[in-house]
C-alpha cells in the first residue's frame, strides 16, 4: 500500500554506522555530518575548488545528505575510498 511507503521503518530507526562511527539513528548521523559540512562551507579555500556551486550555504545543506551525498565537492570522498580499500584488503 502506498501509505506504507511514507511510514517510518523501525529497522531504520536504530543505530547506524558511517565512516567508522556509530550513531543512535540515521537522523543523528545526518545532523552530525551536516554540522561538519556547514563548518567546511565557511572555508574560503574549500569554496574555491573547481566545480563548486554558486548556491548559498543553506541551499547546499538542504540538498545534501552528508557524507553520502553533498551538493558540492564531497569532503569525505577520500575517507570513503580509504575505507573501501581497507575493507577489500
**Would 1 be classed as within a structural domain?**
no
- Can you give 14-68 as a three-state secondary structure string? CCEEECCEEECCHHHHHHHHHHHHHHHHCCHHHHCCCCCCCCCHHHHHHHCECCC
pTM (two decimals) = 0.81
**Would 49 be classed as within a structural domain?**
yes
pLDDT above 90 (res 1): no
**Would 3 be classed as within a structural domain?**
no
pLDDT at 8: 54
Structural domain for 26, as ranges: 8-88
* Banded pLDDT at 9 (limits 50, 70, 90): low
Grid cell digits, residue 21: 562511527
The pLDDT of 7-34, averaged and rounded, is: 86
**Would 60 be classed as within a structural domain?**
yes
pLDDT at 41: 98
Amino acid at each position: 500500500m502506498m501509505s506504507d511507503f511514507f511510514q517510518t521503518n523501525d529497522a531504520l530507526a536504530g543505530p547506524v554506522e558511517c565512516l567508522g562511527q556509530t550513531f543512535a539513528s540515521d537522523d543523528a548521523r545526518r545532523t552530525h555530518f551536516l554540522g561538519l559540512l556547514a563548518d567546511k562551507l565557511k572555508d574560503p579555500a574549500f569554496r574555491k575548488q573547481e566545480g563548486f556551486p554558486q548556491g548559498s550555504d543553506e541551499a547546499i545543506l538542504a540538498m545534501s545528505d552528508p557524507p553520502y551525498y553533498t551538493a558540492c565537492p564531497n569532503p569525505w570522498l577520500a575517507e570513503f575510498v580509504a575505507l573501501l580499500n581497507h575493507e577489500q584488503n
